[in-house]
Amino acid sequence: MALFFSSKNNPAFLILFFLSSLLFLTTQQCNHHHFSALLHLKHGFHFSRYSLSTLPSWNSNNTDCCSWERITCDGPTGHVISLDLSELFISGRIDFESLFRLRSLQKLNLADNYFDPSPIPSGFDQLTSLTHLNLSHLSFYGQIPREISRLTTLVSLDLSSNEYWNGSSGKYLKLENPSIGAVVQNLSNLSELYLDWLHFLSELDISRNNLSSAVPNFIGNLSSWTSLLLTECGLHGKFPDSVFQLPNLQIIDISDNPLVAINLPEFPQNNTLQRLILSYTGLSGKLPDSLGNLKFLTDLALSNCNLSGSLPSSLWNLTKLQYLDLSYNRLSGPIPSSYGNGLLNLKQISLWNNLLNGTIPSSLLSLPSLQGLYLGGNQLSGQLGEFHSSSQLENLYLDSNKFQGMIPRFIFQLTNLRELYLSSNDFSGVVELGLFQNLKNLYSLDLSDNNLSVQYGSGNSTFVSIPQFQSLLLRSCNISTLPNFLRNQEQLRQLDLSNNKISGEIPKWIWEVGNGSLNSLNLSHNVLQGIVPSPHLLLSDFSVLDISSNNLEGSLPIPPPSIFFFSVSNNSLGGEIPRSVCNATYLTVLDLSHNHFIGQIPPCLGEIGDSLSVLNLQGNAFNGTLLQTFKEGCNIEMLDLSGNQLEGQVPRSLVNCKMLEVLNLANNQIHDTFPFWSEALSQLRVFVLRSNQFHGTIGHPLTNQAFPLLQIFDVSFNSFEGNLPSNMFKSWKAMMEDDKSQSLVLGKMIYGRSSIYYQNKVSVVSKGQMIIHGRSSIYYQNKVSVVSKGLMMEVVKILTAFTVVDLSRNKFYGHIPESIGDLKSLLVLNMSNNDLTGGIPTSLQNLRDLESLDLSHNKLSEEIPWQLTELTFLAVLNLSQNFLIGKIPQSRQFLTFNNESFKGNLGLCGPPLANKCEDAKSAPSPTLSTLQSERKYDWELMWLGFGVGYGVGVGMLFWTLALWRKGRREFYIFVDGMLSLIFPSMLFVAFTPS
């Protein structure tokens, strides 16, 4: 035995001893201090039921922390060098004091957990060996500590997607001091930087337009960089072109930074870029041909920018490209048709909403790997031939183009097809839904707004072979009855049969379609007459229900508590509104306009929860007072109570609706003074009080910030009086904008493409054209009536160039303020039928976009300023019934106006009036008092003539009738003819002699 252990006699012992010693050295247990620090760290954790692990190996019985999961140690020293706690769904607190005791850490990953919200603490500079730090998708907020910039060994830094929401307000991670430049400049070894959703500027800085460049130029010189991700983090300024040419850079993602100015440079040969994501930025200009040099590129996303020009054919040579998104730009010209060996790996191409024209190249549909083709919203045309298309195609969007002819047969052979959108084209013919029976995977179909007639069998046929749809959009498809096959649709979630010819009653089975999965139903613009009562409606999970513009009668159908969008407008429904409507606590849009509802508006509608954004009760017969209580935190953006019989005062509680953009109270019986407190509604864009019983003065605004976003102001047909306050117009900042390149859209997309689009459509008058804009499905229309040029129209957008001020039919007096000339974007100005005096202010020459000006029926005097001829867009001018004098200007637009624009001004002369200015020169100019007396004398003569004529006419009538009653048949033909001429709308059969 002793001989066996003798190293002299047994050399195997030496080898065994050496290996044992080496194993001992390389498997040294973890440092005792690190063991203690990790146990303290775990003590603050809470694991949810979603946690992938509860870290059971982290316990005091197992003192070798190097054997614990998620831990990596340095073998010789036993020091912890890597800690990965990502995606464990841990909540609770982080004991940073214990964490910073792991001084040997090289890699730290805490991403995707639910730690208690807190700022990132200082102290990270104690981890001097860190090369990889990932603190993404946590609840950190506030300023990033300066110590991060001292981690000079960092190779990868990820601070993306940090935010904390408390109710409706959020807190974000910010990088202000130090700036991004200070951080990056010190981290000379950095090759990967992920700062998505990081806020580089405070709100205060943004409001003061402190827009100094947040992207330092020197980052374009960091040749070691491989990844740069700065998504949605408030960047601004010019982005360095040199970044795109860094030799090792593989990923650039600075999307969702609209204030960053970007121009694509010329890309060198053999560029290493693999992903180039610049969507929703200030990228502009043309696409360079050198994009074809990006041979390793797999993802190119440049959507929602300001690109123009044509598609470079060099793009089609990129053999590794898988995803191409150039949607929502201004790209024009045809789609290149020659691809060579390029695009063989292309899976998705999105050219949505550009200006592309021509036809679809057959080679595009034949790409072997193509799964998604999105060409909607262009100007593509022609007929779709019988292409040999890729069998891999799953999503085909050709909507909103100019395609013609029949729907081609090859579409019905795309067996992998899942989504097919062909709406808003010129397709024609009959489409039998049974043709889709081979497309077993098809779940979304949109054939709306073509010249198609959709058929689905006859009699009781249910077409069980029709695919099980989730979304079926058949708007404007010449359908006359509710399709019976819908009863067998078990997965249907969205159904649009609007703008068809469907008649009869809405059956109760429609609420059971989809076995409870149906949550969006649009039957608007049909000829439906009634609704079969069913408890299934109240028990359903509908979020969208639009049955507007039908012939429905009866009482209001009560929507389910889950309803989100509910419209029954333009029907003949009546009765009172039950309080149970207020049980819909998720309700966002409620439109009951243009019906016959009576009684008082349920008070609970002002307190219906935080979700209500649109309340439209226009055009009914509601009486009583206005809604008086709008609770604090009210989120209503549009309130339209016009066209009812409401009385009382405007409720002051409306100041709680801080988001209010549209307030329309026109055509009621409201008796109140001007609601001066409404100045606190800083988001108000449309303010209409027309045709009520408002009185008193408008008064000077309380602040110089009153109604800064106002674009339509209509207080006409009331009894307001007093001088017009000049400083009122000075605070209307939005009306002073003359930048036509931008638009202010009232409303917002609520959710989902081709799902629900909420757009406030404001009725205004502009050149007599009807402008309807927007994508398919459900539209909410906010209609504010503005009378001008004698026309009414529907407009989707209120442009910054479209503004209306209507002060007509009141008792305003005094001079027209010069400050109204500051409203440079004003399109319609109506001050008629008041008691305004003085001259027409020359400052009106600044209203270069003005199209309609009505100052008639006032007491304006002096000459017409020649400066008004500078208004070259002026289409309607009415200066009649004033006391204007002198020669009518004879140039530009004034040459197009007729006598009606100037009549009733006895002191005016020159064309188009008959009064010649030569005659006027020989006589002294009439004074204002003379003109007033002459106008009074003219009215007296007119009434005298009318009285004499009326008396003679009545006398002759009775004389004629007396002769008739005496049987003078010889007068029958003569008298009957005279009566029919004088009173053409009356019949005199009763006077015919027997």
User: How far from the centroid of its chain's Cα atoms is residue 551's Cα?
Assistant: 31
The verdict on residue 920 lying in a domain is yes
Q: Is 209 left (phi over 0), alpha (psi -120 to 50) or beta?
A: left
Q: Do residue 806 and residue 875 come from a single domain?
A: yes
Angle at alpha carbon of residue 394, lines to 390 and 397, rounded to 5°:
95
Which of 658, 650, 657 shows the shortest CA–CA distance to 674? 650
The pLDDT tens digits of the residues spanning 445-464 come to 999 999 999 998 654 444 45
Which secondary-structure segment (H or E) carries 21?
Answer: helix 11-26
Strand partners, 94: none
Q: Do residue 865 and residue 738 come from a single domain?
A: yes
CB within 8 Å of 731: residues ≥ 6 apart: 701, 703, 704, 705, 706, 707, 708
The boundaries of the domain holding residue 984 are 941-991
CA separation for the pair 499, 479 (Å, rounded): 9
CA separation for the pair 891, 25 (Å, rounded): 101
Number of Cβ atoms within 10 Å of the Cβ of 429:
11
The verdict on residue 395 lying in a domain is no
Q: Do residue 922 and residue 945 come from a single domain?
A: no
Residue with tokens 């200066």: 879
Domain closes at, from 894, 926, 958? 926
What's the sign of the alpha-carbon dihedral 713, 715, 716, 721? negative
Q: Do residue 819 and residue 859 come from a single domain?
A: yes
DSSP helix/strand/coil, 686: strand
The verdict on residue 981 lying in a domain is yes
Residue with tokens 């009536």: 785
Amino acid at 503: S
Q: Do residue 917 and residue 809 come from a single domain?
A: yes
Radius of gyration, alpha carbons of the chain: 38
Q: Do residue 904 and residue 987 come from a single domain?
A: no
> Can you give the CATH number for the domain in which 859 is found?
3.80.10.10
72: its two tokens: 């990596």
DSSP helix/strand/coil, 868: helix
Claim: this prediction has a pTM higher than 0.95: no
Q: Do residue 945 and residue 845 come from a single domain?
A: no
CA separation for the pair 229, 243 (Å, rounded): 12
Domain closes at, from 926, 955, 978? 926
CA separation for the pair 550, 200 (Å, rounded): 52
Number of Cβ atoms within 10 Å of the Cβ of 556:
21
CA separation for the pair 177, 143 (Å, rounded): 8
Q: Do residue 679 and residue 819 come from a single domain?
A: yes
Residues of the chain with pLDDT under 50: 1-8, 13, 16-26, 200-213, 459-463, 740-801, 920-931, 934-946, 948, 950, 952-954, 956-994
**140-157 residues labelled b (16+ CB within 10 A) or e (exposed):** bbeebbebbbebeebbbb
Q: Do residue 870 and residue 961 come from a single domain?
A: no
Q: Do residue 904 and residue 945 come from a single domain?
A: no
CA separation for the pair 525, 777 (Å, rounded): 12
The verdict on residue 502 lying in a domain is no
pLDDT reported for residue 197: 60
Domain closes at, from 878, 901, 926? 926
The verdict on residue 687 lying in a domain is yes
Contact 482, 456 (CB under 8 A): no
DSSP helix/strand/coil, 590: strand
pLDDT reported for residue 280: 93
Contact 715, 690 (CB under 8 A): yes
CB within 8 Å of 23: residues ≥ 6 apart: none
CA separation for the pair 198, 217 (Å, rounded): 19
Number of domains in the chain: 2
Q: Do residue 914 and residue 947 come from a single domain?
A: no
Contact 797, 773 (CB under 8 A): yes
Which of 589, 568, 586, 594 shows the shortest CA–CA distance to 506? 568
The verdict on residue 375 lying in a domain is no
Contact 576, 552 (CB under 8 A): no
Read off φ and ψ for residue 897, nearest 5 degrees: -90, 145
Q: Do residue 850 and residue 908 come from a single domain?
A: yes
CB within 8 Å of 711: residues ≥ 6 apart: 685, 686, 734, 735, 744, 798, 800, 802, 803, 804
The verdict on residue 351 lying in a domain is no
CA separation for the pair 342, 314 (Å, rounded): 9
Q: Give the ranges where 351-435 is alpha helix by DSSP (H).
A: 362-365
CB within 8 Å of 884: residues ≥ 6 apart: 840, 860, 861, 862, 863, 864, 902, 905, 907, 908
Contact 893, 960 (CB under 8 A): no
Instruction: Kindly report the length of the chain.
Output: 994
Which of 712, 628, 715 shows the shortest CA–CA distance to 667? 715
Angle at alpha carbon of residue 951, lines to 947 and 956, rounded to 5°:
150
DSSP helix/strand/coil, 374: strand
The verdict on residue 714 lying in a domain is yes
pLDDT reported for residue 217: 63
